[in-house]
Amino acid sequence: MRPRRPLLRIVSDRLHIGLVSAVVILLAYGSLMVWTATVTMVAHTALVQRQFIGIALGCLFLIGAWLIDYTQYKSWTGPLMILLCVLILSPRIPGLGGTASGATSWLEVFGVRLFQPSEPAKLLFIVVLAAVVAEFGGKIERRPDVLKVAGYVALPFVLILLQPDLGTGLVFIMIALGMLLVGGLKGRWFAVAAVLIVVFAVAGLTTPLLQQYQKDRLLVFVDPSRDPKGAGYNLAQSKIAIGSGGMTGTGLAAGTQSRFNFIPEPHTDFIFSVLGEQFGFVGAIMLLALYLALLSATLSISASSRDLYGALIAAGLLSMWLFQILENIGMTIGIMPVTGIPLPFMSYGSSFMVTNLAGVGILLSIWSRRYGTGL
pLDDT value of position 291: 97
- What is the tens place of the pLDDT at every residue in 282-337? 999 999 999 999 999 999 999 999 999 999 999 999 999 999 999 999 989 888 88
Flag whether 310 is in a domain: yes
- Mean pLDDT over residues 198-214, rounded? 67
DSSP letters spanning 164-193:
T-HHHHHHHHHHHHHHHHHHTB-HHHHHHH
Q: What is the pTM of this model?
A: 0.89
Task: Please state the rounded mean pLDDT for residues 100-115.
Answer: 61
Average pLDDT over residues 229-244: 79
Residue 342, domain member (yes or no): yes
Looking at every residue in the chain, the average pLDDT score rounds to: 85
pLDDT computed for residue 1 by the predictor: 45
Radius of gyration (C-alpha) of the chain in whole angstroms: 21
Strands (E), the chain: 97-100, 103-109, 112-115
Range of lowest pLDDT (117-126, 246-255, 271-280): 246-255
Q: Which domain holds residue 222?
A: 16-368
* Separation of alpha carbons 248 and 335, rounded Å: 22
Residue 7 resides in a domain: no
Count up the domains in the chain and report the number. 1
Concatenating the DSSP letter of every residue in 292-359 gives HHHHHHHHHHHHH-SSHHHHHHHHHHHHHHHHHHHHHHHHHHTSS---S---TTTS--HHHHHHHHHH
What confidence tens digit (pLDDT) does each residue in 337-352 have?
Answer: 878 789 999 999 888 9
For residue 201, being part of any structural domain is answered with: yes
pLDDT in tens, 19-40: 999 999 999 999 999 999 998 8
CA angle 160–165–167, rounded 5-degree value: 110
